[in-house]
Chain A
């Protein structure tokens, strides 16, 4: 035994194939207890399949994993007692009300009916869903559904939580609400494995990130390390007049080293993580008579991460984003 803090998840060489597709092709993960671990990857990378194996819903073809010290195949029952899963498809019952959903889970987790009701009310209040408590979930908005979904995962506080793309499809406000919930959960000591397609989400929440692509981990580290390896952030400039883009690109290249012409004909960006230098470069553009519609200093997008790590963009290998899970359920 080592003196290291215990690992909440320890996976080695996980493989899962569906027919010809090797959905997960040798994934190793090491997640410290009490941290948020981000799994970042484009559509079809194998995020959901990895989570489903770790949550004991799928049996790996090869490799092994221990979750909170228990083998996911041999001790699956014990693992299920300690973790909870918020799936990519809303894992709540659409034909019941929010309150009924939470009471049902309370009962299934061993609470008495009165306790289950109290807990349901408490969670609905905490998640801003009291008013919608009696409404059927199928009438909920996407953000409400997600919050209920997370509430359903913590009816009894899990030691480890799997969150599969908790903010995909949410508006910025709902997204922030979900992020706040996740931060609070972590502060209370829950370990979280978070799958996401958004680098900024992983950056905001995760202590460490694994980037996965075509079923394998292609990069791993803290958000800072990852961004550094990708070339940190970027200055994005929108021009009022696309005609001026060549001139702007030239200036930015001179000031910041290199430029990237965005798909938007009026957009141009350059790698830069230093706000002072970015401000200087923008001022420079302005002085040279380039008319600027707007600018921002942002982090590299998942696209840019992929470009840097694999030499191709995430979109080039995107597969049907919604279809796969349905197929899987019907099979």
Chain B
């Protein structure tokens, strides 16, 4: 796999008050493979937008190098950077459509910038609008569209010049869940059908687990965790990552929550992790049958991450004492990556 985007020890500082410096991006190295989707998460002010703007050189790095499609942007002059920006699309939280132009005019604008003749620009704009399902809105003005439609026009405009890379800065943060879905589905098609590499910033882990292959977690200008999405969700290491993962999947019951469960479920409680590499539900039900153990589900926190289940199920076990012990032992024996937790009591 070839890297489309490569950041090498990139730093960006802004002049602060009284001659001090503020470091917004602090020594970030990152590669994004062609045709993949990278999600960047982090708390407000972590430097996510700055990082994204470094990729298409809307910001020039203070130190380090930025390579897009193998070309070192750091070595280019402003004219060269403009040419690179035409090969990288960008989508914004507030869409930023031109109110003085129609939907068609908005989508055709980057083409006209790139010197495409009017008729050709129009043809291509209509083609992209068809891709986002808004061909019939070509003559409308931006204010005549819904929020979701507007963002789809934003995506169409970013795709008009057939870029290799699409950058999305919180493209769905201003949308309701329904329209968020609409835009996410579109971005997924952009990736799978057009093969475009996407880097997207988001606050929502739901967006990451739906769309991303890779996730980078930022905190105070640094990338503190970076890896394949399922891996990061299954085994978050950095405290910030844990907060984000928890927000998406919920925790296995612990402490007070476990006490409350126990009040309702007097039997033995076992929390079984659900991961893509753990034996599935069929295996579980076979073990239960073999050991003549009955169960009820006391708690379940399972979500889908990149088309695989992840989370945990807490079962209340019922049966003879010895059977339950044997069942738990058998359960543990096959689990190498994630042990079941027996909530004794």
Do A and B share a complex?
Answer: no
- Give me the interface of B with A, judged by CB distance under 8 Å: none
